[in-house]
Amino acid sequence: MTMWTSLDPAAVAVDPGGRATARLRVRNTGDTVEEYGLSVVGTPAGWARVEPDTLRLYPGSEGTAEISFAPPRSPDALAGPAPYGVRVEPREHPELRDVLEGQVTVAPFTEVRAELLPSSLVGRFRGRSAVAVDNVGNTPLTASLTVRDETNRLTYEMTPNSVQVAPGRAAFAKVVIRPQQVRWTGSAEQHRLTLAVRRSGDDRGLELGGTFDQRPVLPRWLLAVGSVLVAAAVAFVALWLGFQPKVNTATGETQPGASAQPVPQGAESPLPSAPPTQASPPPGAQNPPGGSSGGAGGGGGGGDDNSSAPGGGPPVIPAPPKQPPANANAKPGPPWRMGYKPDEIVTFAQYRLATLNNVCELKPGWTAGVIDKLTDTSLRCYQEHVMRDQKSSRELTKTDPIGTLGRATLTSLWAQGIRPDDVKSGAKNYQVTQLAASFWWASQAVISTQDLTYDRGYARTGIEYFKSGQKNGQVTVSDDKIKGWIKQYQQEVGLPATGTADAATIGKLVGGSVNGPGQPGR
């Protein structure tokens, strides 16, 4: 042995976000000049440093180095003791290296974040939402979930009503809200509700606000139309009953011995004319099947055949789709292909394809929730156009083969139509919701069952948006949380982490650039 080593103290404690140190002493007991390399091994190595990391000592001399521990205030530094080692390796005699063992104890801290998606619900009989609970502390979290409303006129179903979340992970719960009384007529009524997330052992909780817009079963326009129809029916019946055609008859008595005399043409009172008969419509005059003919669909896209962007013209309202047949043996997604089980996420993609207003637009007659022949044709056309679009990153097929609806294609579909000015910091509109959904799909290198609950919540907001003619979509605020998502995505796809959704970032989303390309997620 050509050295002597000492670690003081061998055990230290540190708070997350703080700093603690230990001192390493090394003495050269050999007879030649030696250089010693110093490094930390073990779990704390990611947030520990040795300064200096090299000691050059003459025979008999001694040097010191400081080992500093600075665990981040994040789930990356778990609470509790963590063993570590300091490796001292002589450059001239590496086979004589030594490892000094120590222990650093990280103090616990708790931090909980939660989100209600969507936070604004609309319905006549019920509303559905999802709660995401994120544990950003360094200790396991057990939290209870409760819902209340200001007027106590709603009932709730929370599944589950408590969650256990590991550090750095998220848990999800489903919420079904029903009004105690159904509104048959009148105006919509808004109920304010509060969801509380309370950590076990802590009376203070995190409260999330939301609203439930209860719509009447019979809207006002239907009552107005019904009143007009009833009035028209009453008037028609009154006119029909009041119409009595007048018929005059003349009967002459025959006198005995008198002969009948013919009535000259045109003499006496003329016979009444017969009431006109209603002629049957000529062949081909009936309305064609399906009602009267209407105008054609929306206009086509721009002049660039290689662009994947939606075309111009007014918003297209897709025709109601067919309902899928029951198939208990079908395979579930994601990703989805022809013959897979129906899913709301596929229905969203179909509504997005049906409103492209360009050559790839999904034609009427498609079946909701499944990739049928019409959907497959439109999907392939869209994916091929994305891969030819010079404004996109053209990385979609790295993850989704042509004809497969996966996370890269859904990232692209959600990002279509977003402009940088619409999603700048402070903006509050449906385009920010699109951006958040696109980032969510792009980040899911591994998709859990709970993640799919979150995905379907986004899908339902998109379906309602397109069914209403692209009006009154679910709005989201472009705040610091959205900015953090933008930075994370930019780092994952190799862009400068500016936190601004510029044209380059949107081009990556439209082009299907995702975290972990090639991984379908499930």
% helix, strand, coil for the chain, step of 5: 25, 25, 50
User: What average pLDDT does range 458-483 have in this prediction?
Assistant: 91
Average pLDDT taken over every residue of the chain: 83
CB environment 432-462: b (16+ within 10 A), e (fewer): bbbbbbbbbbbbbbebeebbbbbbbbbbbbb
Q: What pLDDT, on a 0 to 100 scale, did the predictor assign at position 306? A: 65
- Residue 505 to residue 5: CA distance in whole angstroms: 52
Residue 157, pLDDT score: 87
Average pLDDT over every residue of 448-460: 89
Cα 110–Cα 114–Cα 120 angle in degrees, nearest 5: 165
pLDDT of 61-72, one tens digit each? 999 999 999 999
Q: Which residue has the tokens 């009006």?
A: 471
pLDDT at site 506: 94
Can you tell me the mean pLDDT for 56-84?
93
Residue 115 neighbours by CB under 8 Å, 6+ apart: 131, 132, 134, 208
Report the C-alpha gap between 4 and 22 in whole angstroms: 17
Task: Name the band, by pLDDT with cuts 50, 70 and 90, for residue 152.
Answer: confident
**Per-residue model confidence as pLDDT tens digits over 249-308:** 333 333 344 444 443 333 333 433 333 333 333 333 333 333 333 333 333 334 456 667
Burial class (CB in 10 A: 0-12, 13-18, 19+), 342: buried
Please say if the pLDDT value at position 500 is more than 50: yes
Structure token pair of residue 257:
């011995």
Question: How large is the average pLDDT for residues 170-176?
Answer: 92
Q: What is the pLDDT of residue 280?
A: 36
Task: Give the whole-angstrom CA distance, residue 382 versus residue 413.
Answer: 9
| Higher pLDDT among residues 214 and 514, named by residue | 514
Confidence of residue 409 (pLDDT cuts 50, 70, 90): very high
Lowest-confidence range among 16-30, 269-283, 447-461? 269-283
More confident residue, 231 or 188: 231
* Residues 495-503: contacts with CB under 8 Å, at least 24 apart: 500/420, 500/424, 500/425, 501/418, 501/420, 501/423, 501/424, 501/435, 502/420, 503/420
Give the pLDDT confidence of 306-344 residue by residue, as tens digits.
Answer: 667 776 667 777 778 888 887 778 899 899 999 999 999
pLDDT digits (tens, 9 = 90+) for 180-229: 778 777 777 888 888 889 888 777 778 888 888 888 887 666 767 877 88
User: Measuring CA to CA, which residue among 497, 378, 513 is closest to residue 439?
Assistant: 513
Averaged pLDDT for residues 453-467: 92
Q: Are 410 and 352 in contact (CB under 8 A)?
A: no
